Amino acid sequence: MNPGGLPLRRGLISIKDLTKEQIEAVLSESAKMLNACQCGADVNYLDNKIMATLFFEPSTRTRLSFESAMQRLGGGVIGFADPSSSSSMKGESLADTVRIVSSYSDIIVLRHPMEGAASEASASSLVPVINAGDGTGEHPTQALLDLFTIKMEKGRLGKLKVAVVGDLKNGRTVHSLAYALALFGNQILFIAPKKLQVPDEVLSGLSRRYSGMVEKSESLESALDADVIYMTRMQKERFASPDEYGLFANYYSINRKFLSRANDEVILMHPLPRVGEISPEVDGMKNSVYFKQAAYGVPVRMAILNMIIGQQSGIV
């Protein structure tokens, strides 16, 4: 029996696919994976399994952490990081690409610029599909590693004030994280310029599904009493023109002076890459956990892969 009860047929398309109990199971398995790796334990649970990574958009952390995770589990990796090297450049549809690649692999990890691409891919795939980011839609595995970071650093997942800052309109990491934070009963403060605030459909989805407190602000000052500050970059590639991007490029920035005024126990997170919204001068401060957050991507994705395609946990 597959451990953890993740949705096996589709893989993982949206954080909304998971119940609170399933998320807790992923985080528990992630902690075991982290401990196993630190102890040098044998974790070859996916020996002879193959993961295909189909990345139609650039990625460093997500793609490499997935590949590291699969290799640490004893599996193999195929795929591409540049769509120009694939048959999509010849006009092949996403559905056809996925159908073919799924016959070569046991699981597909897909990043694509089109919102809804992962769901479309899962309908054509012979194997589970993991959404590694679909346009401005969602990024569920990022949300899971973000939750894991919060739990590791704060000791709990609920009753926290979390300030989410930046381009919340286009930030798919934020859209997934918001649902997960609300599910665990946190207070969420969305800080963004009016034109880049979190989409109405995300807010309405939160109000329908959860009862947690949600607020909006334009001022970074309102994050000073937060337990968690989650910074995001202004997503240059999503703006209509360089001039429009220029209006918001340096809208928010956290430096040592700001962080010294914040809640002493606050943790500062970022899905990375950063492009100026966090000064390097705060990298060494105790509150800054974004590099640790990125590192947690490996054990969390090890847990996800094992729970979806592994035959047994092996570390329970």
pLDDT at 58 over 50: yes
Cα–Cα distance, 289 to 65 (Å, whole number)? 17
Catalytic residue numbers read 61-62, 90, 111, 139
- The sheet carrying 214-217 orders its strands as 214-217, 187-191, 161-165, 228-231, 267-269
Rg of the Cα trace of the chain?
19
Strands (E), the chain: 11-12, 50-55, 76-80, 107-112, 129-134, 161-165, 187-191, 214-217, 228-231, 267-269
Q: How many percent of the chain have pLDDT more than 70? A: 91
Cα 72 to chain centroid, rounded: 20
Cα–Cα distance, 228 to 254 (Å, whole number)? 13
Q: What is the pLDDT of residues 215-266, one digit of tens each?
A: 999 999 999 999 999 999 877 676 667 777 677 778 889 999 999 999 999 9
Query: How would DSSP label each residue in 141-177?
Result: HHHHHHHHHHHHHHS-SSS-EEEEES-TTT-HHHHHH
What is the pLDDT averaged over residues 207-213?
73
Do 132 and 112 meet the contact criterion of CB atoms below 8 Å apart?
no
End-to-end Cα, the chain, rounded Å: 13
pLDDT at 114 over 50: yes
Q: What is the pLDDT of residues 264-278, one digit of tens each?
A: 999 999 999 998 899
Mean pLDDT of the chain: 88
**Mapping DSSP to helix (H, G, I), strand (E, B) and coil, where does residue 41 land?**
coil
CATH superfamily of 3-138+296-309: Aspartate/ornithine carbamoyltransferase (3.40.50.1370)
Q: What pLDDT is stored for residue 27 in this prediction?
A: 96
**Cβ atoms within 10 A of the Cβ of 32, count?**
20
What is the pLDDT averaged over residues 152-165?
95
Give the contacts of 69 (CB within 8 A, at least 6 positions apart).
297, 298, 299, 301, 302, 304, 305
Residue 254 DSSP one-character state: B
What is the pLDDT averaged over residues 83-106?
86
Q: How confident is the model at residue 297 (pLDDT cuts 50, 70, 90)?
A: very high
Do 112 and 94 meet the contact criterion of CB atoms below 8 Å apart?
yes
**Fold of the domain built from segment(s) 140-294:** Rossmann fold (3.40.50)
Is the pLDDT higher at 8 or at 113? Answer: 113
Cα→Cα distances 38→33, 42, 68, 145, 298, Å = 9, 11, 14, 17, 12
Q: What pLDDT is stored for residue 204 in this prediction?
A: 85
Is the pLDDT higher at 149 or at 133? Answer: 149
Q: What pLDDT is stored for residue 26 in this prediction?
A: 94
Q: What is the pLDDT of residues 182-206, one digit of tens each?
A: 999 899 999 999 989 988 888 888 8
Cα–Cα distance, 146 to 157 (Å, whole number)? 10
| CATH 3.40.50.1370-classified regions of the chain | 3-138+296-309, 140-294
Query: pTM score > 0.95 for this model?
Result: no
pLDDT at 8 over 70: no
Tokens of 291: 């590099």
Residue 314, amino acid: G
What is the pLDDT averaged over residues 142-149?
96
Q: What pLDDT is stored for residue 1 in this prediction?
A: 33
pLDDT at 209 over 80: no
Q: What is the pLDDT of residues 166-181, one digit of tens each?
A: 989 887 888 889 999 9
Q: What pLDDT is stored for residue 239 in this prediction?
A: 67
pLDDT at 162 over 70: yes
In the numeric block, the tokens 């894991």 are attached to 148
pLDDT at 135 over 90: no
